[in-house]
Structure 1
Amino acid sequence: MNEAAQAPSSPAERPPALSVNRLAAARVAQLLARADELRLALHRDERGTCIVDAGIEAQGSIAAGLAIAEICMGGLGRVHLAATPREGWPTWLEVSSSQPVLACLGSQYAGWSLSATKEQTGGRKFFSLGSGPARALAAREELFAELGYRDRADSGCLVLEVDRLPPRVIVDKVLADCGLPPGALTLIVTPTASLAGTTQVVARVLEVALHKAHVSGFPLGRIVEGNASAPLPAPSPDGLQAMGRTNDAILYGGRVHLCVRGDDEAARRLAQQLPSIHSPDHGRSFAEIFRDAGHDFYKIDPSLFAPAEAWVTNLDSGNTWHGGRLEMPLLQQLWRQGAHE
């Protein structure tokens, strides 16, 4: 069992010491109460399930994206906007967590595949990857067995990165898998081509590093603190370009600092393995890479999904290592008009 997750030995009998859904509940309530201020639209179906439009018909906002990102982290992370120009870009996101494994992998990671055929929806087929604390209620992914964590709570929230509201068949599946009554579920829809969507995706810069550490074989229980930053691009009205910008922000502008425990060699190796620079696709825009892969994520080199720069501190020795580098000139060319002149 990963001690970072703090799961009970019998999760079916009692809730874990840290419940990402209970911790996120207050932030969900605040989001709903501030809906008009944050330019959100609230919908309740006939059963009482709340669906939040954060960028489809509603305009949404950066502030909504920040709030949604903290909900995604199960109340165990902080996401701030730093409007102080640096590295040639005016606006940055800063993310931190003292429970990075649980916040990022146990909650924020977009790992729950939700799909429906056109026959099931009565129209178009539907697909989305669910992220946020309700994932830990359903625990449908193998990752939760590895973490040794499953949540128990009276309410849940799931975030979907799609450009339309989920059909009833998807809502039914989430309710059934989470074991929640309809009125206890909140679904937040954040298209990437929106202010809130772009913001909450770039706020995954720390999560991307945690996922890369996990697939690299670093013991997750040794990661005890995480801090990260990434530049916040403007959302593009084109969905492919919007997705490309959010990924590029992390791949070429993401900077992560992890505090770990253990031996120095493992910490040094982690700092060297984490950055995206090791991918043969490094240096190209993600939109171009995705297009060349036939719009299939699984055909893209997995090592590309990583922050640009990594710092790793071993708390047991006090030593720090560094790997990778920011590629801000590339982002300037991709995002800023007149950058080629």
Structure 2
Amino acid sequence: MAISVNQYAKLIVDRMIEDAQLLQINVNKTSNGAHIIDAGVDARGSIIAGELATEVCLGGLGTAKVITSQYGDVLLPSIMVSTNYPPLSTLGSQFAGWRITNKEGKFYGMGSGPARALSLKPKKMYQEIDYQDKSDVAVLFLEADKLPKDEIVEVVAEGCNVAPSNVYLVVAPTSSMVGSIQISGRVVETGIHKISEVGLDPKKIVYANGSAPIAPIHPDSTKAMGRTNDQIITAGHVNLFVDYDNDDELGEIVKKTPSGGSKSYGKPFYQTFKEANFDFYNIDPGIFAPASVLVNNLKTGKSHVAGKIDIPLLKKTNGL
């Protein structure tokens, strides 16, 4: 039986709806029947809601746990993510690849999660991993500062070819507990995306796990965006287990993966973003990567390591 990331994610969403009060989230229904799970816009949200939202983004094919980790001489909250389906759970689901807005441009949200595998956003990525989901239910995480209404539900429903009443949207802004957790929870996805961009076929990745600190919450969404990106860029670490024939070739690919090789590296991301006139297209895309990577070749037993955790820059961006 084919794996459906939307059906697996729906199991987690059902739990979130049932335990909404305990998770400190709100569940609303639009007039066209969609479920809107507010995990940080009007609701406070919670740490456990952040773990579950991260697992929703992974299409139910990974685990996420908030722990405490040591970075230099400080202890920080961090998130550990693991998956036995690396390309599918990350590129096929978690990758933030669907920009969603309405006709007036008054709503903007970045969509990630399993509904992308129905809408094929972006199509090239799904061709690379050879996957398209089949489901009558669409589950999407929206990073947005306000809750979507019927019009946005229609956009998602149409893109996924499902009924509006079968759309489930989990929503949280960057400047919220759930928002901060789920962005750090993208550490493995960021590593897999970057290493595939520099030459590794993602289908060669058999297992993956990783961790990153969780950014202190900042009420300014733009500054929060800078901080949350920095957790992965300065201190994210990813372990990949791959089947690969050529160790020399693999080693060269791994060297190109960490964020430290980017020309934009070396300052808090908010500063880089500001200098680029707040335009992502003016920033070297190579910066969007974990700080360090370890790749174990299952065929040869050899491991390749690149990058390092940048404690001074992490402390600077977190105001420590």
- Interval of TM-score (by shorter of Structure 1 and Structure 2): over 0.9
**Match for residue 73 of structure 1?**
58
1:141 aligns with 2:122: yes
Question: Is the Cα contact below 8 Å between 1:260 and 1:267 reproduced in 2?
Answer: no
Deviation at 1:213, TM superposition (A): 1.5
Aligned AA for 1:274?
T
> How many angstroms apart in 2 are the aligned matches of 1:168 and 1:32?
19
> How many angstroms apart in 1 are the aligned matches of 2:221 and 2:286?
23
Q: Tell which deviates more after alignment, 166-175 or 276-285.
A: 166-175
Describe the SS at the equivalent of 1:166: coil
> How many angstroms apart in 1 are the aligned matches of 2:121 and 2:100?
11
After superposition, residues 253-292 of structure 1 pair within 5 angstroms as 253-262=235-244, 263-292=246-275
Match of 1:240 among 216, 222, 226: 222
**Match for residue 94 of structure 2?**
108
Deviation digits for residues 35-57 of structure 1, max 9, x if unmatched?
11111111101121001111111
Describe the SS at the equivalent of 1:157: strand
* Structure 2 portions without partners, runs of 5+: none
Describe the SS at the equivalent of 1:248: helix
**Match for residue 99 of structure 1?**
85
Deviation at 1:328, TM superposition (A): 1.4
For the aligned residues, what is the CA RMSD? Answer: 1.4
Aligned length, in residue pairs: 317
After superposition, residues 201-216 of structure 1 pair within 5 angstroms as 201-216=183-198
Deviation at 1:127, TM superposition (A): 2.2
Deviation digits for residues 195-240 of structure 1, max 9, x if unmatched?
0000001100000011101211211111111110101121100111
1:48 aligns with 2:33: yes
**Match for residue 128 of structure 1?**
109
**Match for residue 281 of structure 2?**
298
> How many angstroms apart in 2 are the aligned matches of 1:168 and 1:48?
9
Match of 1:34 among 14, 19, 35: 19
Aligned AA for 1:101?
P
Describe the SS at the equivalent of 1:90: strand
> How many angstroms apart in 2 are the aligned matches of 1:293 and 1:323?
27
* Structure 1 portions without partners, runs of 5+: 1-15, 119-123
TM-score by length of 2: 0.95
1:159 aligns with 2:144: no
Aligned AA for 1:163?
D
List structure 1 runs of 4+ shifted beyond 6 angstroms: none
Question: Is the Cα contact below 8 Å between 1:256 and 1:309 reproduced in 2?
Answer: yes
Describe the SS at the equivalent of 1:282: coil
> How many angstroms apart in 2 are the aligned matches of 1:125 and 1:154?
28
Aligned AA for 2:100?
L
**Match for residue 9 of structure 1?**
none
Aligned AA for 2:41?
I
Q: Tell which deviates more after alignment, 124-133 or 297-306.
A: 124-133
> How many angstroms apart in 2 are the aligned matches of 1:181 and 1:326?
46
Match of 1:328 among 295, 304, 311: 311
Deviation at 1:169, TM superposition (A): 2.3
> How many angstroms apart in 2 are the aligned matches of 1:331 and 1:190?
24
Question: Is the Cα contact below 8 Å between 2:71 and 2:311 reproduced in 1?
Answer: no
> How many angstroms apart in 2 are the aligned matches of 1:180 and 1:208?
29
Describe the SS at the equivalent of 2:75: coil
> How many angstroms apart in 2 are the aligned matches of 1:282 and 1:43?
41
Identical pairs, percent: 38
Aligned AA for 2:263?
P
